[in-house]
Structures are given as C-alpha cells and as structure tokens.
Structure 1
C-alpha cells in the first residue's frame, strides 16, 4: 500500500469458522477495526476501508474473531500489510525491491500425521517446537512475531565463527521508522511485534 492512497479491501470468508480481520497498528475507523464481535461468517464478506494516512511502516493483519483469534491466526489468517512512501524511501535510501524481505516468524507444533496441533484445546500457551520463517550485499528484513505464545531472541552469526555475534542496524519498529537507527547484536521480539533491520553482508564475506 502507498501512504495517502485510500484503500478498500474485501475479505471473503471461505472457511468454516467466522472471522474478523484486524489491521494491527493501523489508524482504523471503528467500523473497520475488526473488533472481536464484528464477525464475518462462512460464505459472507466484508469490505474494510483503510485510510493509509500513517508514515510508512510494517503493519500486519490477523483474525480477531471472538474466542477463536489464536486458532484462526495460527492456521494462517495473518499476513503483512506494508505501507510504503516513495518520498520517504528516496530520503532514507534503505534497501528496497528484491532486497526488502518480509520475514514472519511463528512457532508451530505438528502431529505425526503432519497436521498442525490446534491451539483450540490449549488454555495456557502453545509454544510450538518447530520454528517457521517465510548478491546485493545489503538487505532490509521486516520481522514479525506471529506466534501465539513464543518470543524470540534473534542474533546473527557466521558459520565459520558461530560463537561471535555480528552486528546489524535496527531502522524501524511497531510505530514506524526510528528517528535514528540503532546498531545491535541481538533483538528480542515478542508476540505481534514488528521490527525492520538492515544487514550489510558485504563486510562479512570473509567470514561466511
């Protein structure tokens, strides 16, 4: 999406459970916020209006339906909603296009059959035991923790020296781009949080 360009997005429920789509981090008006009881039932649809008036940032949409939010989001009703601004892009000169890579992290648990364990029967937490994740030397990565319960401590190492953490640059978070970038060697990301980081791989060529 582009900043300043209004959008209407139609969500069609082709599943067997109700859903309510919430755009996490958006300036959404009340009828389009996706509150828990505003459910769209199977074979129904709802049009959501998004003003896209905020500064450029990484947002995400997910199900928010009453009592089954975790179940629906866990089984796939979640995704990136990237709000771009060409003018800001030109000023910041951050990696873009093929070098701007969204990464959604999630912890899943599988049955021997290969099917997912449902969080519907879990009343405390579902940590999951399988972590799932979706040469211009510099890349920007958009990170999202879409887990039900698990936080992640992320860091970067080279195969040749796995005990040494390499640095990267944090340029954005939930509220958009930071007023100044932050150099870091690790990052803790919790449920529903987003970060945008830049990694310059050129300086690691002799270590990878």
Structure 2
C-alpha cells in the first residue's frame, strides 16, 4: 500500500486514464500504480462516493487522499474546457428547502451554517500541483442543464465549477483525519446542456498530464 490514495467517481473516468486496470476490481480493492500511489473507484454521486471512500479509509491507512475527475465550469469565470483546476473549497449546492411560493433556499441560508468543506493547504503539495489554479466548487445531485441555473448556483455560492462528489470527499476525509485534495479537468461549460461541445477524453488526458504524472 502506498501513502497516497487517488480516488475517481466513475468507472468511465478511471478506464480512460488506466485502461490496463479493471475498474471493477478498483471499485473494491485499491490498485498500486508503479508503487507511487494507489487508485480506487468510489462511485458517482455523494451517497455512493461517501460510503465507499469511508469503507476504504476504515480498512487502510493513507497519508492523503486526492480526488480526481471531470467537472463543469460555470459561465463567466474565466475557465475554459480542458483547463485543470484545484478545488480548494466545496459546498452542497442542491441541499436546502423550498418555500410555499416555490423558491429554493440554500441550506446555508436556512440553517445559518456556511456548509463549506475545505481541502488541505496547497503548501504541502509539489510546486507543479500547488501552481494549479485554485477554484471554489459546488457538489450537486442533479447536474446543471440551463444557463439560468448555472448563473444562479455560481452566484449563490460564489463558485467556479460543479461536480457531484467533491464536498463528500472533503467531509469523509475530515472525519477520518486524512488530508484531502481535489483536482478536476473541465469537460464542459455548465450552461444550456449541449453534449456535442463536451470534451471528456481530452479533459481527462489533461488531468493525467498535469496532476497524476506529477504525483
């Protein structure tokens, strides 16, 4: 076992970068990559990801966890498709209440809690990883599909990118006392949904070159 555990959410993301390793096996048992770090697949969405990451951390002792994957960038944030970012803070973006008038009230406003989950300080990273752009993230169960919702979420949470697991990773690792980092490559702009503009394989290759090759 290595000191660093690199976790993916989806088997598709994992298979694109590590086609030589069974994603099914990596979903149950961390796999070593050249004795540099271990890799595992924890599942899509905050629920599966949390349960599986907690299971792995309960069975194995790691010095740090690094979450990697793709994300959508909110409009007007100066972020382009295939950019690689380091998500240093994350919140749950669709947790809250609905008023009788139909308005959404975020949990941070309904409860008075900020609900922010943070990663470890980048000062403990290599220069290459610490130099990657820092952004704020939002984790959601339902991905954005309209420009209106993208601008709403980006403005409400002062966020740059959107994923489905980032806050869960930070929360679980904090509970286990394990430093955590989150790196993502932008596969699409979170706006009116048009998958013809997405560049998932290209984004994942950028993630490999800028993050995994520098661990």
Task: State the TM-score, normalizing by the size of structure 2.
Answer: 0.26
Task: State the TM-score, normalizing by the size of structure 1.
Answer: 0.26
**Whose Rg is larger?**
1
Structure with more of its chain in strand, by fraction: 1
Structure with more of its chain in helix, by fraction: 2
